[in-house]
Chain A
Amino acid sequence: MEGMILWDYQFQGRNAILKWADDIRLGKRDRGRLDQKLDALEAMTFEFASHTNLVAGPLNNSRDKHIYKLRVNGSVAVRIMMCRGPLAGESACTFLVGATERDSKLHPSDAPAVASERRHLILGDHRVYRRSHERFS
């Protein structure tokens, strides 16, 4: 069956992706758009999402070849660093770091590297470092 389970990275019991959206004061319209893209991603196979460029990657500037970025264009070009799984055998995606893009440059610029580190943390103990995805709006 198509479709994936979505997860968010969490740190100290707090959803790091939602916190990032709050920190950059992501607007309601962008949140609505972001939610829609994630709903669509949940309904697709990863390959189909890659084909339509909803997901791009794997990124070269991450430490390994496991980090992708979710592309959502609105008033802000939102790019959420993510990975497939990462646990073996699961049909899932985990959102690791929130970022924006301007002039083809990510902000923060080290987002792929941080995402890579967070992925390894999740691989170490997924119960501590990730939680079910929560909507932005």
Chain B
Amino acid sequence: MSDSRDGKGDRREELIRSFRDRETREGYSEGFLHTWIASQLAAVRMQRGLTQKELAKMIGTQQPGIARMERDGYGKWNLATLANVAQTLGCHLKVSLETYGSLVEEAVAFRSTEFLKRPSFEEDPVFLRDIPPKELHEPGPIAEMRRKVLRWLDNHAPIDQLETWLQGYDLPPVGDEEPPSYWILAGFLPSEEKEQPMLVRRLRSCMERRADGIESGIRKPDTLDANLFDLVAKMPRPLEFSVGLDANYKRLRGRSQSRLTRSRAGLALLNAIMHNQESSHFFNVWKDQIEEADLEAPYRDFSIGLRGLARIPGAPNAHEVTLGSQITAYTLRPGVRKSVFVKSLADAYRDVWREFRSTAPMFPDDVLKHLREEGGAHEWVMNALMLSLSSQVTVREPYTDNTSYWERKWLEGRCERQLRAA
């Protein structure tokens, strides 16, 4: 689609060009004034949850009078009436002479009716807290979320409100492009240092409640779980959540023996745990993940498990987790073919090695041996080598410590042949 009006920069340039003509800019200015007043009256009235009739009653007039004022192109407002409406809606009326340059900026910024909304005096954060007013008076969903967060903090940070947000309710009305964790963090982004610990405390309480199975008033528990763990993964001090994460891991695993990786909440939890580890506290989680891989999706579980393992400094080598005996054990489990198991494990190793390079778990000999027997399955090593050669990056070869001289030569020769063919 070739829409020439898609960028703010384009719009600004177009307006600056056309405003060089006096009549054009005056026409635009008149139109903007009419649109602004009519639209803002309607937008703020709706924001307050008032009908035209209710507002009319509050200012001592009839509903058609309000309807007229909200009509684009009406243009016959009485300043006293406008001031009266503004005060009734908890705002003040501002009439000001401005430059055409400022009109360009306002016209460019006017991309949504959200831009027109204003908080009432009772909700005005300037009077709620002693904080710089600039960030709070800015239009847009992030400033709105910031206002919500500040009201929440002023109201002693009720946990049910946090749970409401985490279920996706009561967030700025901008659609569902971003997850709730984004909006909550956006609300805290410019925050003072003292606000973050409060959020951490509430998130910990929230995780405790989830671990205890408290679900009163919660309509979407799975969504809440997923967003809660998603937010925890993004928090700057992850170690403070280890107890809650551990408890929730046990809860989600205990509820059903099926793999965590089948649910969004489970995946978010594993991701949060991955961001939480600077010790081997969660070693067993990744061990479980590898050893008890979902029969239907072993690759995903191996990949998560190995990724978690690779993030633990000084964790035991993957050999100690994925022992050779495991391969034999898998062949004994009904419905699992050894070759499928090994291929999945190899793919997971390849991806984790690419991601972590020097700290990745080493490739187990049993798997290498099996792949060699299968024939052609060393492709993952070649791909990794070619990747490193093409990007001129020197990486530690993953097989040097655990493979034989013959094996290395065989791989290098094959890789060279592949490169020549390419």
B2: Cβ under 8 A from any A Cβ = yes
Task: Give 6 A-B pairs besides A3-B111, A52-B71 with Cβ atoms closer than 8 angstroms.
Answer: A2-B113, A32-B25, A34-B27, A36-B32, A36-B35, A132-B5
- Bound Cα distance from A39 to B35, whole angstroms: 10
Partner of B107, one of A27, A36, A74, A134: A36
Listed stretches A42-50, A60-68, A113-121; interface member: A42-50
- Taken residue by residue from 11 to 38, chain A's Cβ proximity to chain B (1 for < 8 Å, 0 otherwise) reads as 0000000000000000111111111110
Q: Is B21 an interface residue (CB 8 A)?
A: yes
- What 5 A-B pairs are tightest by C-beta distance, nearest first? A32-B27, A36-B31, A29-B27, A28-B23, A32-B24
Given contacts A28-B21, A29-B23, contact A52 B70 (CB under 8 A): yes
Q: Is B418 an interface residue (CB 8 A)?
A: no
Residues of A within 8 A of B (CB-CB), count: 36
List the B side residues contacting A3 at CB < 8 Å: 111-112
Chain A residues with Cβ under 8 A from B29's Cβ?
32
A1 to B72, CA, bound (A): 22
Q: Is B110 part of the contact surface with A, judged by Cβ < 8 Å?
A: yes
Shortest beta-carbon distance from A113 to chain B in Å? 25
- Name the one of A31, A37, A53 contacting B24, with C-beta atoms under 8 angstroms: A31
Cα distance, A45 to B113, chains bound together (Å): 8
Residue A6 lies at the interface, judged by CB distance under 8 Å to chain B: yes
Dominant secondary structure at the B interface = helix
| A43 and B27 within 8 A (CB) | no
Measured in the bound complex, the distance between the Cα atoms of B175 and A32 in whole Å is 32
Q: In the docked arrangement, what's the CA distance between A72 and B73, Å? A: 7
- Please tell me if the beta carbons of A37 and B42 are within 8 angstroms of each other in the complex: no
Please report A residues at the B interface, Cβ cutoff 8 Å.
Answer: 1-3, 5-6, 27-37, 39-40, 42-45, 48, 51-54, 71-74, 132-135, 137
Chain B, interface residues (CB within 8 Å), range: 35 or more
Complex formed: what's the CA distance from A71 to B114 in Å? Answer: 23
CB-CB contacts below 8 Å: B1-18 with A: 1-5, 11, 14, 18
Q: Which of B273-309 contact A (CB under 8 A)?
A: none
The A-contacting residues of B in range 107-125, CB under 8 angstroms, are 107, 110-115
How far is B24's CA from A31's CA once the two chains are assembled, in angstroms?
Answer: 7
One digit per residue, 1 when the CB lies within 8 angstroms of any chain A CB and 0 when it does not, for chain B 14-50 equals 1000100101111111111001001100110000000
Identify the closest chain B residue to A55 (Cβ): B72
Which of B5, B110, B175 counts the most chain A CB atoms within 10 A?
B5
Q: Does B243 contact A (CB under 8 A)?
A: no
Q: Which of B26, B72, B115 contacts A32 (CB 8 A)?
A: B26
Alpha-carbon separation in the docked complex, A27 to B27 (Å): 10
Contacts A32-B26, A71-B73; is A48 near B42 (CB within 8 Å)? Answer: yes
